[in-house]
Structure 1
């Protein structure tokens, strides 16, 4: 990915994060150091969009929408350099994603195309390990053994700027009222 862009991430409750922590700890025992980002689903990547407009939209969206329950039922790989846990994809999750993109899908650019509605290729996932194939390939059998399906809950949306990473705002989904803009 080239220059500056914004990312909207779905963050999880503590119970869901504990499941990911167990997987991260098992990866550490195998000598792999997971990324420092919290477990999340990337919901959108935006390029050339005014920061305040994006923050306002995510704030409005989060007040009106409750995230669907997630059932992380499998692990997968993208190529040979990313391993992830993924939730079952159902209509509720796809509708949540589609509604988030109603306003600014055209700002996905090349960087965020695969997360956009127009691509029709979004793969909701939480990255577990990312790196060179010789590092990731040995982790796959281990993760297959360690992974057990679990139910999860997305409770908050985060807006971050990349590169470098800068946290901009955190917005609790419907039913929560702890808005935080950094």
Structure 2
């Protein structure tokens, strides 16, 4: 979606979610909400000049411990280690800002799929879906009564029946083809 088509869609979603969660309040002014951003990308990334006090720092010893736990190789030299430490600091700064978002009154997401009651009902597996698989099973054995799947004869296609295996072979011995080994005698 382009930004022009995204704005009405976002406006409908925000208005719909606002009415379902807070129906007693007045209508949300979505245009006013979207016109004044409350954050920017620059606030999510640490600045080069200042170091944030709320972002935890990773020591060289902790970095080597994390790499060992992750089964990753240690950095080759001091510059590679500094790059890793700076990258980890940036990631931790980002996570700290994300964790500071107020999520009171928001139900947590269970998964990235449709969580409506009809979608959950469609995802359930019942006896109707299993009838075909159960019809291909049979009980084998006199004492242990193991359940085994009936083996159906594999149907070969026309190309498999007419395929000449030895047609492209350069060396043949009877009805077999010969593969030369990598070693020479």
TM-score tier, shorter chain, comes to under 0.3
After TM superposition, the score normalised by the length of structure 2 is: 0.19
Larger radius of gyration: 2
After TM superposition, the score normalised by the length of structure 1 is: 0.19
The answer to which structure has the higher helix fraction is: 2
The answer to which structure has the higher strand fraction is: 1
